[in-house]
Amino acid sequence: MTTDETLSFKSERALKSVAIVSDDEKITSRINGVLGGLSNFSVKNQPGTLAGINGSAIGLAAENDLIIFQTSGSESEDIGAVRAIRRELDRSTKLLAMTPETISLADARRLTNAGVDDVLIFPFDDAEFRDQVKRITQPNQLVVVPEERDTGNAGRVITIAKSSGGIGATTIAVNLADQFLGRSGVLKKKTKNRVVVVDMDFQFGAIASFLDVEPRDALYNLAIEGTKPDITFLRQSIVKSPSGIDVLTAPARFAPLDGLTSEQVRAIVKLLRAEYDYVVIDLPRALVEWLAPVLEETDRLLLVTDSSVPGIRQSRRLIDFFTEDAINLQIDMVINRERKPLVAKSAHKEAAKVLERPLKHWLPPDPKAARASIDQGAPLSEVARRSHFTKAVAALAQTLTLDLANAASATVAAN
C-alpha cells in the first residue's frame, strides 16, 4: 500500500489507531490500560524512540491516527524526527509527546513549534488523558468566537481582584459563584443559572481545593501549545464540582503567570461568556499583560480589601492601573472581614474620597464558617447556611444581579 493509499484508508475508517513509541514498559502498560477502555481505539507498541526508529517513523505516522512518543523534550533528534514527519505528511496524523513533569515551558514549546499537537506530562490523570486523546483525534471543527457581546443574552463576567494576599478574595469568588447558581427547591438542588468560576492564579490558585475537585492542567497545556482555545477544548477542560459549580482550575504544576497570551485569554473569556450565565474570574495579585482582555470583558470588578490605610492605598494604586486603559471599567469596593458601621467613621469617609467611590459592600468576619467551608471543600451555603457571612455574600450576589440587569437595560435603551 502506498503512502497516499494508507492516508486515504486511515481517514475513512471509524477505528482510531494509536502507536506508542517508548522503551519504558511501565509507561506503555499504563497507556494501554487507559486506551483499552475506549471501544474505538486500537493500540500497538513500538519499542525505541521517535528518532531511533529512523525512517520507520514516517511510515508509522502514515499508518496511524495518533503517535504517542516518549521524549525528554530537550532531545534535538526527536524534534528533528517530528519535523521530518511534518515535511512528508499532512497533519492528519496527530503527534502527542510524552514528557516528564520536569520539562520546561521552553522545551515544551520547542516540541509544539516543531509540529507536536499536544504534550502529555507523565505521570498523568487517566480521565484527563482520555479527554486529551479524544480531543486531538477528533476532526477539527470551526468555532466562531463572537466579536461583539450581546448584552441581552451573553453571560455576565464578574472579576475578583485583591489589594493584598490572604484578604479572602478566593473565598468570595467561590461563594459568589455558588450564589449565582440561583438554587431552588426543598433541598436546594435545582439551579437557575449556569455558572463557571475561573482560577487565573496559575501558581498559587486554590479554587480546586475550595470546591473539592482535582486540578487539571488545561491552562498549562494551552500555554505550551500556544494555540487559541475553542469551545471543545474548554468543555473538556472544565470540571464540575459536587456543589454544581463548573470550574476552570489553575494547573496542578507551577506555570509562569505570563505563560498565556492576551489573545488566548480573550478567547477563553469570550467563549465562557457565550456558554454561561455568570463567569466569575479570580485574578492573581500579580499584574500581567493578559489582564487587559479580562478587564475589557469584565462587567463588574470587585476589589477586595480591608479599611486599613495600607489596604486603601494599595487599592488606589490598583484602581489607577485597571482604569488606565479600561476607562469605563465599573469597580465596586468590597471590605472583607469587617462589619459595616451604623454610622460611617471619618476614616471611612476619607477612604471613599481617596478611592473616588463608596465602600459599597461589607462582608462580616466569620472565621469558623470560612474554615469549615475550606476543610469540607464545599460552599458556605452548604456548610454554614445561617452564617452572617453567607447571608452577606447572598446579598452581594443579589445586588450585583440587579445592578448588571439595570446596566444592560440602560445599554439597550441607549442603542
Question: What is the chain's pLDDT, residue by residue, as a tens digit (415 residues)?
Answer: 444 444 333 443 445 789 999 999 888 998 888 887 776 778 889 999 888 886 688 888 888 889 999 998 777 788 889 998 988 887 778 999 988 878 887 888 888 888 888 888 888 778 778 877 877 776 544 333 444 444 446 899 999 999 999 999 999 999 999 999 998 876 677 899 999 999 999 989 999 999 999 999 899 889 888 889 999 999 999 999 999 999 999 998 888 888 999 999 999 999 999 999 999 999 999 999 999 999 999 999 999 999 999 999 999 999 999 999 899 999 999 999 999 999 989 999 999 999 999 999 999 999 999 999 999 999 999 999 999 999 999 999 999 999 999 888 777 777 6
Collect all residues with Cβ–Cβ distance below 8 Å to 372 and sequence separation of at least 6. Answer: 383, 384
**Architecture category of domain 17-137 in CATH:** 3-Layer(aba) Sandwich (3.40)
Domain spans in the chain, listed from the N-terminal domain onward = 17-137, 156-413
How far apart, in whole angstroms, are the C-alpha atoms of residue 296 and residue 403? Answer: 18
Domains 17-137 and 156-413 share a fold: yes
**CATH superfamily membership of 156-413:** P-loop containing nucleotide triphosphate hydrolases (3.40.50.300)
Strand 94-100 relative to strand 246-248, pairing: unpaired
358 touches 387 (CB < 8 A): no
φ and ψ at residue 160, rounded to 5 degrees: -110, 120
How far apart, in whole angstroms, are the C-alpha atoms of residue 241 and residue 399? Answer: 25
